[in-house]
C-alpha cells in the first residue's frame, strides 16, 4: 500500500513522527504511538488505515526525520489514552512514586502523541499526583524520552514537587544509566564536557555546538566486547538526548541509535529496534525525611537479549 488515505468520508489524523521513533520501522513506530500490538499496526498499514505522507511506504519502511503519518481514527472526537499496563512501580510512598518506564511510553501527553504516558497511566491506576507543575505535566520534575526505558520519578505531594524540583535543578540527584555504545572505548573512564543545542538540520535532533547549553557526562566501562562497550553513565547535567549526543560526538554512538549515527545492521543482528539505553538507578534525598534514598532497576527483555547476543558473538571471536 503506497497511497495516502483519500476517503473523504473518513476521519483521519496527521501525526508527526516523534524524534525517538525516527529510524524505526513504520509498523513498530505506529504500534508504540497508538499503544497497539505490532500485528494490529501492520493490519492498519496493509488495509490503508495508516499511511506515510508524501512518500512510498510499506510496513517495513524505516522512518525518516520529518516524516508524518496519517491514521484513520474510528472515534476521532474522543481519544482514550492507552494505559501502560506493563509499567511497574519501583518505589512509592505518600510523597513520590518512581516508575520503571517501558520503551514506547511518553512522560506526559503532547501534540501528536497518542500512545501511553507515565502520568496518564498512573492516574488511570488511581495514583494521586500533585496539581503542582505545568498543565498536563503536573508532578513531573524530570522525564525520559519515549525511546528510553528505566526509572522516572513523579511527585504526589506539593512538598515533594518543590523539593525534588530543587534537587534536580541543583544536580543533587544521582542519575545512573547503562548504555551499550559502538566500538571499543579507549579509556576505562572519562568525562565528556561539551555544550549541546538543537541541530540546524532538524528541530528533533541535538548536537554539540558552541552555542549550546553546558552538558557534562561521566562514564565508566562495565564490560568490553570487540565491537561495542557497555558503560555506566552519570549525568551532571540533564540536556535532551545528552547521552546519545555526547557518545555520538566521540564517534561511539549508542547501539541502535540510528538518529545519531549507529550502524543499523548491528542493531538488526542483535534484534534491537531502539537505542540501547536504560535509566538504571536514582539516588536522592527523600523530600520529607531527607534520608538518602536509592532505587534500582533491571534491564528490560529487549536490552538483555541484545546484550546476551553481543556477548555470544564476542565469545566466538
> Of 19, 95, 145, 273, which one is the catalytic site residue?
145
- Cell matching residue 60: 517495513
Q: What is the DSSP string of 260-286?
A: GT--HHHHHHTT--S--EEEEEEEEE-
Distance between CA 121 and CA 130 in Å, rounded? 15
The Cα 132–Cα 142 span in angstroms is 14
Element (H, E) at 192: strand 189-193
| 145 assigned to active site | yes
DSSP, res 140: B
Spacing of C-alpha 222 from chain mean position: 22
| Spatial separation of the C-alpha atoms in residues 13 and 113, rounded to whole Å | 11
Pairing of strands 50-52, 68-72: antiparallel
Judge whether 244 and 147 are in contact, CB under 8 Å.
no
User: In this structure, what is the dihedral angle of CA atoms 105, 108, 111, 115, given to the nearest 10 degrees?
Assistant: 30
- Rounded to whole angstroms, the Cα distance separating 44 from 66 reads 21
| Distance (Å, whole) CA 250 – CA 186 | 11
In the 3-class helix/strand/coil scheme, how is 103-142 assigned residue by residue? Answer: CCCECCCCCCCCCCEHHHHHHHCCCCCCCCCCCCCCCECC
**CA-to-CA separations, 7 to 4, 12, 191, 221, in angstroms, rounded:** 9, 9, 55, 54
Catalytic residues: 145
Amino acid at each position: 500500500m503506497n497511497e495516502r488515505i483519500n476517503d473523504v468520508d473518513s476521519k483521519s489524523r496527521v501525526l508527526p513522527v516523534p524524534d525517538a521513533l525516527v529510524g524505526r520501522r513504520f509498523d513498530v513506530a505506529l504500534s508504540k504511538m497508538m499503544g497497539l500490538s505490532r500485528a494490529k499496526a501492520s493490519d492498519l498499514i496493509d488495509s490503508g488505515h495508516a499511511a506515510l505522507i508524501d512518500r512510498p511506504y510499506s510496513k517495513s519502511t524505516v522512518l525518516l526525520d520529518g516524516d508524518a503519518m496519517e491514521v484513520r481514527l474510528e472515534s476521532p472526537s474522543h481519544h482514550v489514552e492507552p494505559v501502560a499496563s506493563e509499567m511497574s512501580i519501583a518505589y512509592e510512598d505518600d510523597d513520590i512514586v518512581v516508575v520503571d518506564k517501558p520503551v514506547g511510553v511518553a512522560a506526559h501527553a503532547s501534540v501528536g502523541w497518542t500512545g501511553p504516558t507515565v502520568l496518564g497511566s498512573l492516574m488511570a491506576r488511581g495514583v494521586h499526583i500533585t496539581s503542582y507543575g505545568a498543565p498536563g505535566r503536573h508532578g513531573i520534575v524530570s522525564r525520559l524520552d519515549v525511546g528510553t526505558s528505566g526509572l522516572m520519578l513523579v511527585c504526589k505531594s506539593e512538598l515533594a514537587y518543590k523539593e525534588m524540583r530543587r534537587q534536580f535543578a541543583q544536580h543533587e540527584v544521582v542519575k545512573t544509566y547503562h548504555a551499550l555504545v559502538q566500538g571499543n572505548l579507549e579509556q576505562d573512564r572519562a568525562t565528556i564536557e561539551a555544550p549541546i543545542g538543537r541541530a540546524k538540520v532538524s528541530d528533533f535532533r541535538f548536537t554539540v555546538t558552541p552555542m549550546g547549553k553546558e552538558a557534562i557526562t561521566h562514564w565508566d566501562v562495565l564490560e568490553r566486547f570487540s565491537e561495542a562497550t557497555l558503560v555506566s553513565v552519570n549525568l551532571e547535567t540533564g540536556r535532551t538526548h545528552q547521552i546519545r549526543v555526547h557518545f555520538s560526538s566521540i564517534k561511539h554512538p549508542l547501539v541502535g541509535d540510528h538518529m545519531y549515527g549507529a550502524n543499523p545492521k548491528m542493531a538488526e543482528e542483535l534484534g534491537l529496534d531502539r537505542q540501547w539505553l536504560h535509566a538504571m538507578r536514582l539516588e536522592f534525598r527523600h523530600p520529607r525525611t531527607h534520608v538518602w534514598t536509592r532505587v534500582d532497576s533491571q534491564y528490560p527483555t529487549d536490552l538483555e537479549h541484545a546484550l546476551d547476543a553481543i556477548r555470544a558473538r564476542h565469545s566466538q571471536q
